[in-house]
Amino acid sequence: MIDLIQKYVEAYGPSAYEDAIRAMIIADAKQYTADVTTDALGNVIARVAGKKGGQRVMLIAHMDEIGVMVSHIDANGFCRLMRIGGVNPQTLIGNRVQFTNGVMGVIGVDNPGKRSLPSYDDLFIDVGASSKADCPVGLGDVAGFVRPFLQLNENRLVAKSMDDRIGCVVLLETLKALKNPANEVIFVWSVQEEVGTRGAGPAAYHTEPDIVIAVDVTATSDTPKGFKMDVDLGKGPAIKVRDGGMLADPRLVRLMRDQAVAASLPYQMEILPFGTTDARATQVTRGGIPSGCLSIPCRYIHTPSEMVDLRDVQNGVKLLTKVVSEAATLK
């Protein structure tokens, strides 16, 4: 699984520019099911037939990552930028970025000796140009961040896009593990989650699931002066109760919790005061779809060094596989 994680987290794929990571997912998913398609927005949809009378369960994780876009190029070839998704400007100074055409650049800041935190107006991308005429990128060009995958020890993994490539890995490993499930299972690797959960709603509208479980990352409370919540690295995947965009369906929360207990799998309960996932969009699609989320605890979300624990990932796969393999009755 480590090799797969490294391949996915190092792949290029800012929102709306997911071509490279999408191609990887399609190739990998076709190893385990022949029914793999894409829709008009670029969501990847894979299906596994279930037993007659079972539910239609959608598992969804987003393949896009945060990034930046060129908004202006000055006479000396320096590129001003806008964010794609929730990019905090204080994490950007000195970052390296790669554009869709392969051009690399470094993010610099005006008045580097200034002590106050930068805003986007203070930042620029240096692509090595000496004038606007020889700048190898143009207005509207998109860049993703460049950072190698890092394994700190046996379990602690660090990368620039655990959000949500780790969820993409959980889905693929669950697809690999499925054997004659009780439910029809629809796997969706969605686009443009970071800019407003835009791919999830159309995917759910098209496939008409009975139940949706998103797989995404969540914040943790285990760092000095961390968030006031009860989620730590290494203590199991987190079953979402609420976040800043939705209340998870209580029946689905109970189902996941009961299955974790039955399988003696570690789990945590997630109450997140901010942020949201693709489940927010699927919950209000068509006539409404019972939706919830299984979260992988992650430190330093939306920074160049997002950290997860391999055991949480592995137990997330086990729990998700159990939930969709057995009768998914909501009560």
Q: What is the pLDDT of residues 237-270, one digit of tens each?
A: 999 999 999 999 999 999 999 999 999 999 999 9
| CA 137 remoteness from chain centre | 27
Q: Are 205 and 267 in a shared domain?
A: yes
Q: Which residues are designated catalytic?
A: 193
Domain presence at residue 306: yes
Whether 113 has a pLDDT exceeding 80, the answer reads no
Whether 226 has a pLDDT exceeding 90, the answer reads no
Q: What is the mean pLDDT of the chain?
A: 96
The total number of residues written for the chain in this structure = 331
The three-class DSSP label of residue 194 is: coil
pLDDT of residue 227: 85
Domain presence at residue 51: yes
Q: What is the pLDDT of residues 137-149, one digit of tens each?
A: 999 999 999 999 9
**Is residue 183 within 8 Å of residue 54, measured between CB atoms?**
yes
**Is residue 233 within 8 Å of residue 222, measured between CB atoms?**
yes
Q: Look up the CATH number of the domain holding residue 86.
A: 2.40.30.40
pLDDT of residue 107: 96
Q: What is the pLDDT of residues 295-326, one digit of tens each?
A: 999 999 999 999 999 999 999 999 999 999 99
Gap between the Cα atoms of 54 and 323, Å rounded:
12
Q: Are 108 and 221 in a shared domain?
A: no
Burial of 274 (0-12, 13-18, 19+ CB in 10 A): exposed
Q: Are 166 and 89 in a shared domain?
A: no
Provide the domain limits for residue 205. 2-65+160-325
Q: Are 164 and 278 in a shared domain?
A: yes
The whole-number average pLDDT for the span 113-127 is 87
Whether 115 has a pLDDT exceeding 80, the answer reads no
Q: Are 214 and 303 in a shared domain?
A: yes
* Alpha helices (H) in the chain, listed in sequence order: 2-9, 19-29, 162-177, 200-207, 250-262, 278-283, 310-325
Q: Are 222 and 123 in a shared domain?
A: no
Structure tokens at 127: 């692509």
Whether 277 has a pLDDT exceeding 90, the answer reads yes
